[in-house]
Amino acid sequence: MFEALYRIFTSLRLTVVLLALSAVLVFWGTLAQVPMGLYRAQNEFFRSFFIYWQPAGSTWKIPIFPGGYLLGGLLLINLLAAHTRYYQPGKKKIGIVFIHFGVVLLLVGQLLTDLLAVESTLHLRVGETKNYSESQRDYELAVVDVSEAESDFVVAIPDSLLRPGAEVRHPGLPFAIRVRRYCVNSALATNALPGFERVNTTAGLGRDLWLQELPHETVMDRRDVPTAIVEPVGGNGSLGTWLVSAFLARPQHFEFEGRHYEMSLRPRRYYKPFSIHLIEFKHERYPGTEIPKNFQSRVLLDHPARGERREVDIYMNNPLRYWGETYYQASYDRDDRGSVLQVVRNPGWLTPYFACVLVAVGMVIQFMTHLIPFLKRRLAV
């Protein structure tokens, strides 16, 4: 049994089959981005072990094709197993070792990127300073104790915990948060519209609003706008039901045991030990057109703990790399008074470069290993 499995996983035929299936997966997944949207297609085709088909009107799914994680994992196992079977130690095989190790590193690096990379945005108006960036698709319920004048105490509850019927407790809060309802995507209206229902809350803003639950958004240029109905519960009972929504510009306010709290549903924040201040934003266009020629941000980077305070220009093809993150000039406000920076943290960003170098070095070594003896034989003749 073990010998049969060993021969299967070390087979070069398996390599060809996996590569062919990978080509089909890439082609199919690329086409699927049109009807499904980029993020859903990525998750269902490339960040999964299987692609599923769900019959109409049913709740169960049938696996019909291997996903990116399964094909990548099998390719990695096949490569390592084939190397142990066919590799014969010697100077003439050093190049092969480099090539194989480079390909393995490339596969592992892609997995690390999928698991560890974090993308967010930093939206600044001219003259504004922030020490955090915000997620483009993930949200959090922020409960802020604003009782102290000098500082606020913030408890951020990720949206993955905001499920109907859940009760969230945190050591920093003297009360629990019960989730009465959570809509991943929604719309709010000030009057009754078809498909909308009256918001059923007992306190705060939103009691005169109407709510419609919408399906999860998967198109790249759009994002979900979630809404929730939550109930803070203290030792003496409920503090009322409250509406929190990404639509609301202002947080909800309430008091408990003599302290003042704010509660809001906002994009997940990633705080930094430094701040970025937008000094100036420039938007240049080609003469006589509205086509952007260049747009750039001049920012002040202030990191008190390191005694660092300097001005930096961020523009197309010239990002700011700092503190393990890369800041790209991504967009701007229509009035040219605001800038949007894309923030990317990818701990494994060097892995593909190192892997390609290893493959290139291995190919050169392997080529020279055969070329030099060949030249020696020709010269001897």
Nearest CA-CA partner of 341 in 332, 350, 351, 352: 332
pLDDT at position 89 over 80: no
Quote the pLDDT of residue 156. 95
Q: For position 381, what pLDDT does the model report?
A: 64
**Does the structure show a pLDDT above 80 at 131?**
yes
Rg of the chain, C-alpha, whole Å: 28
SS3 153: strand
Phi, psi of 290 (to 5 degrees): -105, 10
Distance CA 370, CA 376 (A): 10
Average pLDDT over residues 237-253: 93
pLDDT at site 268: 95
pLDDT at residue 309 above 90? yes
Kindly report the pTM of this predicted structure. Answer: 0.79
Q: Please, what is the average pLDDT of the chain?
A: 90
Mean pLDDT of 111-125: 90
Least trusted range by pLDDT, from 7-16, 102-111, 217-226: 217-226
Residue 136 has what pLDDT?
87
Contact 130, 276 (CB under 8 A): yes
User: How many whole angstroms from its chain centre is CA 196?
Assistant: 31
pLDDT at 327 over 90: yes
3-class SS at 12? helix
Mean pLDDT of the region 40-56: 88
Phi/psi region, residue 317 (left: phi>0; alpha: psi -120 to 50; beta: rest), is: left
249: left (phi over 0), alpha (psi -120 to 50) or beta: alpha
Alpha-carbon span 242 to 227, nearest angstrom: 11
More confident residue, 43 or 266: 266
- pLDDT recorded at residue 58: 77
Q: How confident is the model at residue 241 (pLDDT cuts 50, 70, 90)?
A: very high
| pLDDT tens-digit readout, 144-193 | 999 998 889 999 999 999 999 999 999 999 999 999 999 999 999 999 88
- Please determine, for residue 103, whether its predicted confidence score (pLDDT) is greater than 90: no
Task: Tell me the per-residue pLDDT of 27-46, one tens digit each, with 9 for 90 and over.
Answer: 999 999 888 877 788 889 99
User: Can you give the pLDDT at residue 20?
Assistant: 95
The predicted structure's pLDDT at residue 26: 93
Instruction: Place 209 in a pLDDT band, splitting at 50, 70 and 90.
Output: very high
Average pLDDT (295-320) is 94
Mean pLDDT in residue range 271-286: 92
